[in-house]
Amino acid sequence: MEKAMKYENAVTELEQIVAQLESGDMDLDAITTKLKRARALVKFCNESLTKADNEIQKILDGEE
């Protein structure tokens, strides 16, 4: 995953992948590639949300 990737960009890309998969116009190799990319994006988003949650919790706990 690119270091400069932003959460919003990852979500947008995931939405595009879902739309492509739903269209049904992809061959098996393309589907496999898109699913691998989607899995990496989901992992990135989960990590980003966890990091943000931890940072918010620190702020709320006064550990800034």
Q: Where are the domains of the chain?
A: 7-60
pLDDT digits (tens, 9 = 90+) for 9-54: 999 999 999 999 999 889 999 999 999 999 999 999 999 999 999 9
Q: What pTM was computed for the model?
A: 0.82
Characterize 35-54 residue by residue with b for buried, 16 or more Cβ atoms within 10 angstroms of its Cβ, and e for exposed. eeebeebeebbeebeeeeee
Residues written for the chain:
64
How much is the pLDDT for 50? 97
